Each structure stands twice: as structure tokens, then as C-alpha cells.
Amino acid sequence: MWYNNIKAGGFNMNKDDLLNKASEFLGEATEKARQFSSEALEASKSFAESAKKTIQAEKLDYEISRKYREIGKLVYSAYEEEGSYEHVADELCEEINALFDQIIAIKLGEDADVSDEEKEGIIEEVNDIIEEDNEDEE
């Protein structure tokens, strides 16, 4: 039959060779598509995990901001009532420290060995965010 030998790119290919080449090409294309979809899935999982951590950290930032306000109210109230505000907010300060520890664990990992400088940097970063949020509210 006429289709048993097909000229392709100057080469004579019989039908079986052509089918084998097409099958090989489709197999490679399928594998590449699987690889691409697997990489895309991993990237989207990574993005979702990152977004989840960001949301968790932002919630903790808000909680810290709220506790700062509570401290301010306690200190002012104690000053007005007693003329002194020593140790009025110790418990809230400990709660804030615990929240900062949670943020550090989210940003750097649970088992991260964090130096005091790194911890201070993250605390400063969070405080900057809180200040910016407070300025936006005004």
C-alpha cells in the first residue's frame, strides 16, 4: 500500500517506524506534562503553606497590638488611681513575649536556633508593622 513507506524530512520511514516515533514523542510529552503538573502542584502547596504562615503571623501581630493597648490602659489607669504603675502589666508583657516566640517559630521554624539579634530583629519588624497599622487607623 502507498502509506507503508512515507517520506519524512528526506528519509524513508515505514509505517511501523513512524508509529514508533509518534508513540515515543507522545510518551515523552506525557512525561513532561506529568513533571510540569507535579512541579506546579508543589509550587502551589508551598505558596499555600507560606500564605497560611503569613496569616498566622498577622493574627499574632494583631494580638500583640491589642495587648499593647491593654498595657497602655492599665498603666494609665493605675497612674490615675494610685499614682504608680509599677508591675501593673507584667502578666501582659509575658503574654506578649509568648506571642513573639510564636511568631519567631512561624517565621523561622519550630526548632530554629534563634540568636538574640535575630529575635530582636523580628520583634522590631513586628513592632514596625504594628506602628504602621496604627498610623493607618489615624
3-state secondary structure of 8: strand
Q: What is the mean pLDDT of residues 96-122?
A: 84
The domains of the chain are located at 15-127
10 versus 55: which is more confidently predicted? 55
Mean pLDDT of the chain: 83
Q: How many residues does the chain have?
A: 138
pLDDT at 2 over 50: no
Contact 104, 112 (CB under 8 A): yes
Model confidence band, residue 127 (pLDDT cutoffs 50, 70, 90): confident
pLDDT at position 132 is: 82
pLDDT at 114 over 60: yes
Please state whether beta strands 11-14 and 5-8 pair in parallel, antiparallel, or not at all (unpaired): antiparallel
Q: How far is CA 28 from the centre of its chain?
A: 34
